[in-house]
Amino acid sequence: MFFDASYLNNSILPFSDSSQPLIVGSCGCYRFSGEDCFHTRRPQGRKDYQLLYVAAGTAWFEIDGNRQPVHAGSMILYRPFEPQHYEYYGQDEPEIYWVHFTGGQVEHILEEYRIRGALQCKRVDACSRLFQAMIRELKNCGPGFQDLLAMYLRQILILIWREGLSDRSHTEQKFREQMEQAIRYFTDNLDQQISIENYAGSIGMSVSWFLRCFKAYTRQSPKQYITALRINNAVNLLENTNYPVSQIAAMVGYDDPFYFSRLFRKTKGVSPSSYRKR
């Protein structure tokens, strides 16, 4: 097992200090291989905050009462007095960086960088270098070292924040693409019978989730959106062609001309025939 760590004032005791916005109390690195193993169980947690970064391999954490693997590129944040239980095994070849910190504005800083829930930082080299710089700086304790330690930790938090923004941007782009694809499908198939259930299944969504997403994007349900498209097409055909109403009904996707007429009247306030005359 490889172990490298440094501690403020050479003390391994956890502490709480609000005299400065952000104070790094200790930081270090573990590497495990072969038969190595390491277990930590703190039912009452610690007085300070702890951020653990899995830079390589796999670690095991108890999250919401369940033992779960945490893979490279992921982080776990423990707040003061939050129960801690995690395990490292050499066969998983984990490389773990950790930092304990405290301060009077920690919660404000975490909120500023949206540090909440699952944390990711796939830029392993950049993140590992920042942890290594913290370890060295805390060992040397040069002029202004506490300020520099806080800056290194802030840089790590910013990397996490940026990655979260990138992930959200990717998710939002995929969401927009899926909804635009649905709109194109509905527009291109207005003269056919459209099954929302079949379409949602074809793109791997549950019906309820697709309905929720589509309404969030268009402010209409799929049925309302399709109906509006069909009625608008019918209006265009009534104004610009001499096709009979029954044929127009079929052309915009309604086999029953009487149902089409009722729906048209409900939407436009007059029947299709009256609309054409007017």
pLDDT tens digits for range 67-121: 999 999 999 999 999 999 999 999 999 999 999 999 999 999 999 988 876 687 8
Residue with tokens 């007017």: 278
User: Mean per-residue pLDDT for 29-43?
Assistant: 94
Mean pLDDT of 205-230: 89
84-89: strand order across its sheet? 37-42, 84-89, 58-63, 66-71
CB proximity list for 248: less than 8 A, separation 6 or greater: 234, 237, 238, 241, 260, 272
CA distance 152 to 100: 13
State what percent of residues in the chain have pLDDT above 90.
60
Put simply, whether the predicted model's pTM sits higher than 0.85 gets the answer no
Nearest to 68 by CA among 77, 81, 59: 59
Of 130, 146, 123, whose CA–CA distance to 17 is shortest? 146
φ/ψ (deg, to 5) at 104: -80, -15
Asked if residue 167 has pLDDT above 80, the reply is no
Predicted local confidence at residue 117, as pLDDT: 66
The pLDDT score that the predictor gives to residue 54 is 95
Q: Is the pLDDT of residue 156 over 70?
A: yes
**Residue 59: what pLDDT?**
95
Crossing angle of helices 257-268/222-240, nearest 10°? 100
Q: According to the model, what pLDDT value does residue 216 have?
A: 85
Q: How confident is the model over 112-134, as a mean pLDDT?
A: 87
Kindly tell me if the per-residue pLDDT of 136 is higher than 70. yes
3-state secondary structure of 209: helix
277 burial (CB, 10 Å; 0-12 / 13-18 / 19+) is exposed
Three-state DSSP at 242 gives coil
pLDDT at 169: 59
Distance CA 142, CA 62 (A): 38
> Would the pLDDT of 219 be above 70?
yes
Give the CA-trace dihedral at 39, 45, 49, 53, to 10 degrees: 20
Q: What is the pLDDT of residue 124?
A: 86
Q: What is the average pLDDT across 206-226?
A: 88
| Confidence at residue 275, expressed as pLDDT on a 0 to 100 scale | 84
Domains of the chain: 2-167 (2.60.120.280), 189-278 (1.10.10.60)
Least trusted range by pLDDT, from 18-32, 82-96, 159-173: 159-173
CA distances from 225 to 153, 190, 211, 219, 229 (A): 49, 11, 11, 9, 6
pLDDT at 212: 86
Secondary structure of 43-107 as H, E, C letters: CCCCCCEEEEEEEECEEEEEECCEEEEEECCEEEEECCCCCEEEEEEHHHCCEEEEEEEECCCHH
